Structure 1
Amino acid sequence: MDENGPLRKPFSYQLTGMVHITKQNPEPWYREGLRFECIRCGRCCRSQGIVWVSPEECSAIADFLGVSQDVLIRDYLLECEHGFVLRDHLDMSCVMLQGDRCIIYPARPHQCRSYPFWAEILESRDAWLSEASRCPGINRGRLWSFRDIRERMLK
C-alpha cells in the first residue's frame, strides 16, 4: 500500500492472498460480511498501480469499444513480460477513466470488478477502513457475505 492507496495487483496475487486468508484464518475478520456499493466516482481508478488484462478481457474490451485488438493494444495497453496492462495517464489515473467515469465499465477487467475485495484490502479491519477513507462506496449499500466476497475474488 502507498500513500495513495493499495497498489493495483495482478489477479494471481489476489488469488494467492485469498487462499492465504482462507487457509490461515478460516474465520476472517469480515466473516459477517462487508458493505460495498460502487458509486462510480472513479477514485479507485486514480491511484498508482497496475491493472492486468487477460486475452479474453482484451477481446471483450475491444468489442465494447468497437475497435480492433491492434488498436486497443496500441492506444490503451502496454505489453509486458506477463501480458498486457492498462496504460495510465500522466497523473497516474487509468487510461479508461474519462472525468469520473470508466468508459469500459460493463467490460472492465476482473481486477476492477473485484475491487475492493482484494487480498491487501481484506488483510485487516484497519486496511479496510483505510481504503474506506478513499472509497465512498465502502461500508454502504449491499451487504456482501463472506461467500459473496470469495466468489467475487475467484470469478
Structure 2
Amino acid sequence: MNIIKKEGFDFGFDPQGCDTCEGNCCIGESGNIWINKQEIENLSNHLDISLEELRFRFLEKRGYKYSIKEIKLSSDNYACIFFNLEKKQCSIYEARPIQCRTFPFWDYFKNHKEEVIKECPAIKVF
C-alpha cells in the first residue's frame, strides 16, 4: 500500500482507493474548478485546440478567474465537464489543474476532515 502523506494533515491518501470510487471528487455540489493561465495553455495543447475554443467550450469566467464548466446531472448534482461518466474517470488526467492534483490536501480539509472522509474512499486516517 502506497499512502501519500502531506505535512499538516492528519490523514493520508491511498491512490488505489480511486479504483473503487465513482468519481466523488469530480461529481457533487456545484463549485469552482479553478484553472490558471499556464494550466489553460497546457490544457489547450493537451486537447489540441485553440485557447479561444477551449475558453468558449470548456471554461467560465468568474470575476477575473476561469473555472472549468460543469454538467448538471440532477437538481444539486454536477460533474466536471471533463469527467467521463461512463468510465468514471478524468478525461484530461495528465493535464488536470493543480486544484485537482492536490485533492484531498486542501487547507479547507485540515479543519473539515470529516467531509473529506465521507467523500473520498481513498482517505486513510492515522
TM above 0.5, one fold? yes
Runs of 4+ aligned residues of structure 1 deviating over 2 Å after TM superposition are 27-30
Deviation at 1:131, TM superposition (A): 1.4
Identity %: 27
Alpha-carbon distance in structure 1 between the residues aligned to 2:14 and 2:31: 22
CA drift at 1:128: 1.6
Instruction: Classify the secondary structure of the residue corresponding to 1:139.
Output: strand
Deviation at 1:28, TM superposition (A): 5.2
Residues 16-95 of structure 1 mapped to structure 2, 5 A cutoff: 30=10, 34-38=11-15, 39=18, 41=21, 42-47=23-28, 48-91=30-73, 92-95=78-81
TM-score by length of 2: 0.77
1:28–1:111 CA distance, 2 compared to 1 (3 A) = closer
Gaps of 5+ in 2: 1-6
Where structure 1 has 5 or more consecutive residues not aligned to the other structure, the ranges are 1-26, 144-155
Indicate if the aligned counterparts of 2:58 and 2:81 stay in contact, CA closer than 8 A.
yes
Higher helix share: 1
What is the distance in 2 between the residues matched to 1:85 and 1:139?
Answer: 29
Once residues 77 and 37 of structure 1 are traced to their aligned partners in structure 2, the CA distance between those partners, rounded to angstroms, is 30
- What CA distance in whole angstroms lies between the structure 2 residues aligned with 1:78 and 1:137? 30
Select which of 106, 116, 122 maps to 2:94: 106
TM-score if structure 1 supplies the norm length?
A: 0.63
Q: How many residues align?
A: 109
Q: Give yes or no for the alignment of 1:116 onto 2:97.
A: no
Structure having the larger proportion of residues in strand: 2
The equivalent residue for 1:136 is: 121
Q: CA deviation at 1:87?
A: 0.4
